[in-house]
Chains A and B, each alone.
Chain A
Amino acid sequence: MNLVIDIGVYRFCIQGCPSALYPDLKKLYSGSIDLHLDKPIDFYLSVKHTSFIRRFIKPQVCLDIDQQRPFNPIKKTLLLPSLEWGMNWCIASFDSTRLLIHSSVLVKNGKAILFPAAPGSGKSTLATYFGLNGWKVYSDEMAIINLHKNTVKAIHRPASLKESSIDVIKALVPDVVMSSVAKGTHKGDIAHVKLSSRESFDGFDDAVICAVVLPKYQVGAELVITPLSQTAGFSRLVHHSFNYTLLGKVGFDTLKTVTDNSQFFSVSYSSYTGLDTFLDELVS
């Protein structure tokens, strides 16, 4: 069965999507599924069995993206996270018409804060928490920045939570809409969280970037907010970018525009109390 997922900037078609995955995808993407069926698709992700025998014994599947296979095959039960990674891979590998930074993006009052960070720093959990508490999440994974401008685009995606973050969010936001947990992926246990309805997402216009915050979750840490220089901030953005070198001068110019118009901080925290007031001030 084929399924179209429209995430705003890009449109995906999941070919051969196992029906067992429907309930989770419907829960997470709802109004973005099979939207505008007449419009062209950017990326086809085909779910294929690796061999005839592996259809039945320890079912194993892989993802093909127009004759490319970016990941090793996986157990059929772990498909949802792989689909999400596959979608990220398509964007990061095949769109160099925008500057892409490995970062979550929170927006309030039309102003955006980027949270660039390596995996495991807590940026998705942070995005999820604030997304369920009055902020708009433009992405928990990728800042999509328009070239030569200081604006960031939204994509309609769920956030991805790992391991203990799953329980942290369940405890903080009991009525969260969460997928089933994929246990034992190569990144551990993974669950996805719906952050916005399609109706509200349709109102997520490009937002002006006003600040960049480098998050570091540390168990038991006091909230420490350290301002960073523009130079240090610029170099962190380069470090977390997917396609800065590919874009050459245009990438530099775009990042310079972002840097000239942003404040930079690094933040270590163990709870969101205090952090919320700080973030509110940045976009006030």
Chain B
Amino acid sequence: MGISSEQEHFISIFSSPQLLLGYTSKEWESLLRIMRGTDMLGSFYYFLQKHNLITSVPDFALMHLQSAKNHSDQQVQQVNRETDFLHELLQGIGIRPIFLKGAAYVLAACGNHNGRVMSDLDILVNKSELQKVESALISDGWSEKKLDDYDEQYYRKWIHELPPFINYERGVTLDVHHTIIPPISGITIPEETLFSDSHITPSSKAVFNDEMLVIHSIIHLFFNEEHEKSFRDIYDIQLLLESYEQKKCISHLYTKAQALGFNRELFYALTVTDSLFNSARIVHLQKKSKTFKVSGVQKWFVLRIIVPAVIPSHELLDRPWNRFARFVMFLRGHLLKMPIKVLLPHFFIKSYRALVFMVVGAYYYSK
């Protein structure tokens, strides 16, 4: 239960980067494979750069790191361009979207955007504006991405979200949200709160303010059900927290999370990052009398289930306990998002499909 010695060895790099100086080329090889598997090669380049270790990287490894850096640098350019286009398009119909996640990190220059790969853009608009946004996007050359029928029905009925949009000409995918947490979960953040907690960047685009950026990233991770690549997300949160701490005391974040009802998620995030990256934020908050009211079971859960679930799932590190932990998180993610009367039919259909995959192989449903 918990963390194996190989996993310890991997994690220790982040708190003691000088360990890399003693790495053999075979150790570099394994490290790069894990980083590639968890989509972190580019971020790792910037991590090495921050610790002045680029010159100590063996040539073969540098090729992979430099290439990943080039990819993500190009993505930053692309995000700047695409957010310009979207901003202009929606401004034309009187809407200023809030850019979320990857795009927001680039626009707000949070520091964690360096080397980070993203697969799509996300924007937040008022629920009442969804139809207007949908028609504006379609008139501008975006198409709704074809999903299989069941998934589309699920999106519209239960997530209350538009299916993803795709711009085939420029190869960009866009998710349009009207909330940052699926309404079906029973948790709501009032729209006024979401939109008043935004910040306007120098290029006059809206992103969340410092607290909401971190909290959104945390919500996103802990309401998710898939955790194969969550190490990247927890590393993201660590960088966001570091950049937050450079500006403000973390107790403000505590207060904000409490006001929104995400106290438990903040506790999870801080415990996991404390445990993986040797930060000491929980203790720091305790000193300021900001304590988390959590049970012994929750403490056990975060260290014995969440931490093993977010360790990179690459075969070089994965152990049965990690797979078990990810399975628990998978069930938990579903339970959080759906009441049981919705969850059971959904599970039934998804497991039927999984069975079809098992028998006739994947890609049976792809058109």
**Interface positions of A (Cβ within 8 A of B):** 39-42, 44, 50-54, 60, 62, 66-68, 72-73, 94-97, 245-248
Q: Which residues of B contact A66 (CB under 8 A)?
A: 33, 36-37, 314
Q: Which residues of B contact A67 (CB under 8 A)?
A: 36-38, 228-229, 313-314
**Interchain CB contact under 8 A, B70 and A96:** yes
**Interchain CB contact under 8 A, A246 and B36:** no
**Interchain CB contact under 8 A, B66 and A96:** yes
Q: Which of B25, B63, B313, B359 contacts A53 (CB 8 A)?
A: B359
**Interchain CB contact under 8 A, B25 and A39:** yes
**Interchain CB contact under 8 A, B359 and A51:** yes
- B298 in the interface, Cβ–Cβ < 8 Å? no
Task: Tell me, in angstroms, the Cα distance from A52 to B36 when the chains sit together.
Answer: 27
Given known pairs A51-B357, A97-B67, A246-B74, the reply for A40 and B26 (CB within 8 Å) is yes
Q: Which residues of B contact A39 (CB under 8 A)?
A: 25, 60
Q: Which residues of B contact A54 (CB under 8 A)?
A: 360-361
Q: Which of A44, A52, A73, A248 contacts B362 (CB 8 A)?
A: A73
29 contacts between A and B (CB under 8 A): A40-B25, A40-B28, A40-B61, A50-B361, A50-B362, A51-B357, A51-B359, A51-B361, A52-B358, A53-B358, A54-B360, A66-B37, A66-B314, A67-B38, A67-B229, A67-B313, A68-B36, A72-B363, A73-B362, A95-B63, A96-B66, A96-B70, A97-B63, A97-B66, A97-B67, A245-B74, A246-B71, A246-B74, A247-B70
Chain A binding surface SS class: loop
Q: Which residues of A contact B228 (CB under 8 A)?
A: 67
Task: Tell me, in angstroms, the Cα distance from A53 to B359 when the chains sit together.
Answer: 6
Q: Which residues of A contact B26 (CB under 8 A)?
A: 40
Chain B binding surface SS class: helix
Q: Which residues of B contact A95 (CB under 8 A)?
A: 63, 67
- B29 in the interface, Cβ–Cβ < 8 Å? yes
**Interchain CB contact under 8 A, A248 and B28:** no
Q: Which residues of A contact B66 (CB under 8 A)?
A: 96-97
**Interchain CB contact under 8 A, A40 and B60:** yes
Given contacts A40-B61, A73-B361, A96-B67, 18 further A-B contacts (CB under 8 A): A40-B26, A40-B29, A41-B29, A42-B60, A42-B63, A42-B64, A44-B33, A50-B361, A50-B362, A51-B361, A60-B361, A67-B36, A67-B228, A73-B362, A96-B70, A97-B62, A97-B70, A246-B71
Task: Tell me, in angstroms, the Cα distance from A95 to B229 when the chains sit together.
Answer: 22
Task: Tell me, in angstroms, the Cα distance from A247 to B67 when the chains sit together.
Answer: 9
| B26: nearest chain-A partner, CB-CB | A40
**Interchain CB contact under 8 A, A248 and B74:** yes
| Closest chain A CB from B268 CB (angstroms) | 24
| A95: nearest chain-B partner, CB-CB | B67
Task: Tell me, in angstroms, the Cα distance from A263 to B95 when the chains sit together.
Answer: 53
Q: Which residues of B contact A60 (CB under 8 A)?
A: 361
- Tell me the residues in window 24-71 of chain B with beta carbons closer than 8 Å to chain A beta carbons: 25-26, 28-29, 33, 36-38, 58, 60-64, 66-68, 70-71
- Tell me the residues in window 1-37 of chain B with beta carbons closer than 8 Å to chain A beta carbons: 25-26, 28-29, 33, 36-37
Q: Which of A42, A44, A73 contacts B363 (CB 8 A)?
A: A73
**Interchain CB contact under 8 A, A94 and B67:** yes
Q: Which residues of A contact B60 (CB under 8 A)?
A: 39-40, 42
Task: Tell me, in angstroms, the Cα distance from A149 to B91 when the chains sit together.
Answer: 46
Task: Tell me, in angstroms, the Cα distance from A63 to B58 when the chains sit together.
Answer: 27
Task: Tell me, in angstroms, the Cα distance from A66 to B36 when the chains sit together.
Answer: 7
Task: Tell me, in angstroms, the Cα distance from A85 to B19 when the chains sit together.
Answer: 37
Task: Tell me, in angstroms, the Cα distance from A54 to B25 when the chains sit together.
Answer: 37
Contact flags (1/0) for B130-146 with A, using CB distance below 8 Å? 00000000000000000
| A39: nearest chain-B partner, CB-CB | B25
Task: Tell me, in angstroms, the Cα distance from A68 to B38 when the chains sit together.
Answer: 10
Task: Tell me, in angstroms, the Cα distance from A234 to B215 when the chains sit together.
Answer: 49
Q: Which residues of B contact A73 (CB under 8 A)?
A: 361-363
| Closest chain A CB from B354 CB (angstroms) | 11
